[in-house]
Chains A and B, each alone.
Chain A
Amino acid sequence: MVRTKYNWLATVFLIVGAVFILFPMYMTIMVAIKSPFELAQSLLGIPARIFWSNFTQAISITHYGQTFGNSFFITFFAVVLTILTNSMVAYAIARNMHSWIFKGMYYYFFSAMFVPFPIIMLPLVRQMSAIGLADSIGLIILYVVYGLSFNVFVYIGYLRSIPLELEEAAWVDGAGRWTIFWRIIFPLLGPMNATVGILTALWAWNDFLLPLVMLSDPNQYTLPLVQYAFQSQYSTNYNLAFASYLMALLPMVVVYVVFQRWIINGVTKGAIK
């Protein structure tokens, strides 16, 4: 039998890392499912029974249904539009790097990664409200546009690994530029679409600052916003706060589990040679 070699150092690091991540997670769950009385008795202990009223109260206080809907609406469209448009922009740049216009765009987007958001925050809000887009729609547009710099960078790196012959073959087969992108290139961008999708979803779902400055109508508030209000009002009731955090967290865990299966290497395997 072949003995499997363990890299003990790496394993220890991984275990320590996992504990650092799992411990707060454990605490969140424990606090969320305990009654205030049980929490006072023991912070880390497992409760005798799950205290569901934390969740029901949190749902009613945060108007969970509506806020969840708002967050979902913004996140869903931010992700879909980001993937569809940013991949297209990246494709155009990646295949035209010989032209100075596209090369210039590449470096323009690339440099935008280094602009700190707070610097442009206020002018941006003024601009968006001036054109009547200081709402959810405007927020979605900003996520799509602000993702461009990083996403284009990521997409282009991957596009370079897709052999040009595939496009030439499709071209000879009768495809136009549009068909080549949607039928050949876009499906092959799967792993990058998943990466960009996950990052955009996490950003849009958890973002606090942009919704705070952009949204004036309380009916459009997202989960992080209402949690903030909730936190300041009920700061003494940790159980309610953590129950609300837990409910906000679960959709992202689902998104990650679903998308991460797409982040696999070797999607272009078999294309050439």
Chain B
Amino acid sequence: MANVSLQHVFKKYPGKESVTAVTDFTLDIEDKEFVVLVGPSGCGKSTTLRMIAGLEEISEGDLFIGPKRMNDVAPKDRDIAMVFQNYALYPHMTVYQNMAFGLKLRHFPKAEIDKRVRDAAQILDITHLLARKPKALSGGQRQRVALGRAIVREPQAFLMDEPLSNLDAKLRVQMRSEISKLHKRLQTTFIYVTHDQTEAMTMGDRIVVMKDGFVQQVATPQEIYNFPVNLFVAGFIGSPSMNFLTGRIEESGNEMRFVAPNVSLSIPAGRFDSIRKAGAVNKPVVLGIRPEHAHDEAIFMETYPGGVFEAAVDVVEHMGSEMYLLMDVGGQALNARIVARSDVKVGDRVKLAIDMSKIHLFDKETELAIM
């Protein structure tokens, strides 16, 4: 067990068109913490993980696992285990041999290897598969074997590179909770890479959102969801994603309003100071509102009178327990998640109330949150 620390880590690929894949990545991962690196393709999350594993060289900066600087230590001596996106099971070995391989190379006694492999197999419910070869396994079973191969090593840290992305949706949900359980059971540091924000939100103790090689925000799932620091994080985290309306902040007397075509919303007095401090008055801003914070029931019109507006419904999506209304608000799209009992139809003009205490404001130019 150990903490993992990255200090001002860069990854630069030299060449004619030199590319910086990771820029100034700094993060302290506590012992036993489950940290998820999340971001779109090409954001540098896998590269960062591979640098921790030792599969990629660190161009600049320091990596510590425990107290030891690991930059120049070979992967096998870093005491980490990695689960690959495509499992990377040795096809000519049985499940047992696959799991035992790392221990054999480290000259563990036979009895100890057998005990560890059988224990891991039991945890993962793959004892009956030990004699099989990978080609005789389903995708989910292969994923478990890949996890098993990591578990038997009892490493200081587990690194997982999009381990669920090749599974079907149902299995992914199941394996998600199993990996979370595994983390609680093993009490080891987990560093997990995914492009799926749902996985990040459900599994991580902390989430690191990345884009174009830069860390955007590091925080707990709740904090990231409720207080995204910029437009990218706000749009990336949450499903369906946050709505953005571009408009201006207008101040008159002791009132401040967000004004956009067909919308004029009253901003809660508690936000005035921060808006003035950011110099956002009379300037273009982006208002962010999550779909679940727009309501169509009468009681919300009374509760949030300052947040009421009208919009035409373009698309109605019935999800069973709830429904999504995709609307046009003065030329800007807005998605609202409302209760399923509503009888709204396509083409209707509906009145909605926004919970103004839940709005997010972003500077249009810098895209940073106005906190």
Question: Which residues in chain A, 74-129, are within 8 Å of chain B measured between CB atoms?
Answer: none
Question: Which residues in chain B, 61-102, are within 8 Å of chain A measured between CB atoms?
Answer: 74-76, 80-82, 84-92, 101-102
- Known contacts A163-B88, A176-B76: does B55 contact A170 (CB below 8 Å)? no
Question: Which of A190, A270, A273 has the most B CB atoms < 10 Å from its CB?
Answer: A270
A166 within 8 A of B: yes
Cα A166 to Cα B84 in complex, Å, equals: 9
Which residues on B sit within 8 Å (CB–CB) of A190? 92
Beta-carbon contact of A173 and B91 below 8 Å: no
Question: Which of B92, B153, B166 has the most A CB atoms < 10 Å from its CB?
Answer: B92
B185 within 8 A of A: no
Q: Which of B76, B87, B92 contacts A272 (CB 8 A)?
A: B87
A12 within 8 A of B: no
Cα A88 to Cα B88 in complex, Å, equals: 22
Beta-carbon contact of A188 and B75 below 8 Å: no
Q: Which of B85, B101, B135 contacts A173 (CB 8 A)?
A: B101
Which residues on A sit within 8 Å (CB–CB) of B88? 163, 165-166, 168-169, 271-272
B142 within 8 A of A: yes
**Cβ of A178 to closest chain B Cβ, rounded Å:** 11
Question: Hey, what's the 0/1 contact readout for A170-214 against B, CB within 8 Å counting as 1?
Answer: 111111100100011001101000000000000000000000000
A266 within 8 A of B: yes
Q: Which of A172, A176, A184, A273 contacts B80 (CB 8 A)?
A: A172
Beta-carbon contact of B101 and A270 below 8 Å: no
Cα A172 to Cα B53 in complex, Å, equals: 7
Cα A170 to Cα B91 in complex, Å, equals: 12
Q: Which of B101, B106, B135, B153 contacts A266 (CB 8 A)?
A: B135
- Known contacts A267-B92, A269-B135, A270-B134: does B105 contact A175 (CB below 8 Å)? yes
Which residues on A sit within 8 Å (CB–CB) of B102? 172-174
Beta-carbon contact of A273 and B166 below 8 Å: yes
Which residues on B sit within 8 Å (CB–CB) of A179? 105
Question: Hey, what's the 0/1 contact readout for A17-57 against B, CB within 8 Å counting as 1?
Answer: 00000000000000000000000000000000000000000
- Known contacts A163-B86, A173-B101, A270-B142: does B91 contact A168 (CB below 8 Å)? no
Q: Which residue of B lies closest to A167 (CB)?
A: B88
Which residues on A sit within 8 Å (CB–CB) of B81? 172
Q: Which residue of A lies closest to B153 (CB)?
A: A173
Question: Which residues in chain A, 248-273, are within 8 Å of chain B measured between CB atoms?
Answer: 266-273
Contact residues on A (Cβ < 8 Å of other chain), bracket = 20 to 34
**Cβ of B107 to closest chain A Cβ, rounded Å:** 10
Cα A176 to Cα B106 in complex, Å, equals: 11
Beta-carbon contact of A188 and B149 below 8 Å: no
Which residues on A sit within 8 Å (CB–CB) of B135? 266, 269-270
**Cβ of B340 to closest chain A Cβ, rounded Å:** 38
Beta-carbon contact of B139 and A270 below 8 Å: no
Count of chain B residues with a beta carbon within 8 Å of a chain A beta carbon? 32
Cα A270 to Cα B93 in complex, Å, equals: 10
B269 within 8 A of A: no
Beta-carbon contact of B91 and A268 below 8 Å: yes
**Cβ of B97 to closest chain A Cβ, rounded Å:** 10
**Cβ of A256 to closest chain B Cβ, rounded Å:** 23
Q: Which residue of B lies closest to A269 (CB)?
A: B135
Which residues on A sit within 8 Å (CB–CB) of B131? none
Beta-carbon contact of B86 and A273 below 8 Å: yes
Question: Which residues in chain B, 114-166, are within 8 Å of chain A measured between CB atoms?
Answer: 133-137, 139, 142, 149, 153, 166
**Cβ of B223 to closest chain A Cβ, rounded Å:** 32
Beta-carbon contact of B75 and A171 below 8 Å: yes
**Cβ of B257 to closest chain A Cβ, rounded Å:** 54
Cα A187 to Cα B166 in complex, Å, equals: 26
Which residues on B sit within 8 Å (CB–CB) of A273? 86-87, 139, 166
Which residues on A sit within 8 Å (CB–CB) of B106? 174
Beta-carbon contact of B91 and A271 below 8 Å: yes
Beta-carbon contact of A271 and B90 below 8 Å: yes
A interface list, Cβ under 8 A from B: 163, 165-166, 168-176, 179, 183-184, 187-188, 190, 266-273
B interface list, Cβ under 8 A from A: 53-55, 74-76, 80-82, 84-92, 101-102, 105-106, 133-137, 139, 142, 149, 153, 166
Q: Which 4 A-B pairs have the closest CB atoms?
A: A270-B135, A270-B134, A272-B86, A173-B102
Known: A165-B88, A271-B87. 12 other contacts (CB 8 A): A168-B75, A168-B84, A169-B84, A172-B75, A172-B80, A187-B92, A269-B135, A270-B91, A270-B133, A271-B86, A272-B86, A273-B86
Instruction: Please list 26 pairs of residues, one from A and one from B, whose beta carbons are closer than 8 Å in the complex, sorted by A's number.
Output: A163-B88, A165-B85, A166-B90, A168-B55, A168-B84, A169-B82, A169-B84, A169-B89, A171-B74, A172-B76, A172-B80, A172-B81, A172-B82, A172-B102, A173-B149, A174-B76, A174-B102, A176-B76, A187-B92, A188-B91, A188-B92, A190-B92, A267-B92, A271-B86, A271-B87, A271-B134
